[in-house]
Amino acid sequence: MIDKLLTMTYTSITDYNITAGLEVPFCYVNSVTGGVFMPLILMAVWIIFALGSYFIQKEKIGSGDFPMSLAVAGFVTSILAILFRLVKYNGVPCLIDGLSLAVVIIVAGISILYFLFSKD
């Protein structure tokens, strides 16, 4: 058992062809973290867009429309997630998996429905 643990091979950055494109380091980081890195990036983008658009509205107009900010953030994040899903390394999508893409699209849909049915 110990011998097997000591001789296990792990992927390193040298296993990837870094000159293939800008997405290759992101594919490597995402594979090392077990596919958690890019969904966290998408969550950060969603939070930044939602809070950023809300507070910009609040500063410019005097009141912010939070459901609209959630809808805008959901739309932007879903477009970014679709683009991440299209990136492939060696013919395999490497940045985001199908489940994460589905979750992002569902959250965007719920945000848009919340915006459409809000009282404001």
Between CA 16 and CA 89 the distance in angstroms is 9
- pLDDT tens for the 120 residues of the chain, in order: 565 555 656 677 777 777 777 878 888 888 888 889 999 999 999 999 999 999 999 999 888 889 999 999 999 999 999 999 998 877 777 889 899 999 999 999 999 999 999 875
Domain for residue 27, yes or no?
no
Between CA 56 and CA 33 the distance in angstroms is 34
Domain for residue 70, yes or no?
yes
Domain for residue 21, yes or no?
no
Q: Enter the tokens of residue 96.
A: 């985001």
Domain for residue 20, yes or no?
no
Residue 120: the pLDDT is 58
Residue 73: the pLDDT is 95
Between CA 81 and CA 42 the distance in angstroms is 7
Domain for residue 6, yes or no?
no
Domain for residue 1, yes or no?
no
* Inter-residue contact 78 to 51 (CB < 8 Å): no
Between CA 91 and CA 116 the distance in angstroms is 39
Domain for residue 84, yes or no?
yes
Q: Record the pTM.
A: 0.81
Our count of domains for the chain comes to: 1
CA atoms within 13 A on the CB side of 58: 10
Residue 88: the pLDDT is 81
Residue with tokens 């997405």: 23
How far are the Cα atoms of 7, 15, 41, 79, 105 from residue 74, in angstroms, in the given order? 44, 35, 14, 9, 8
**Domain range holding 62?**
33-116
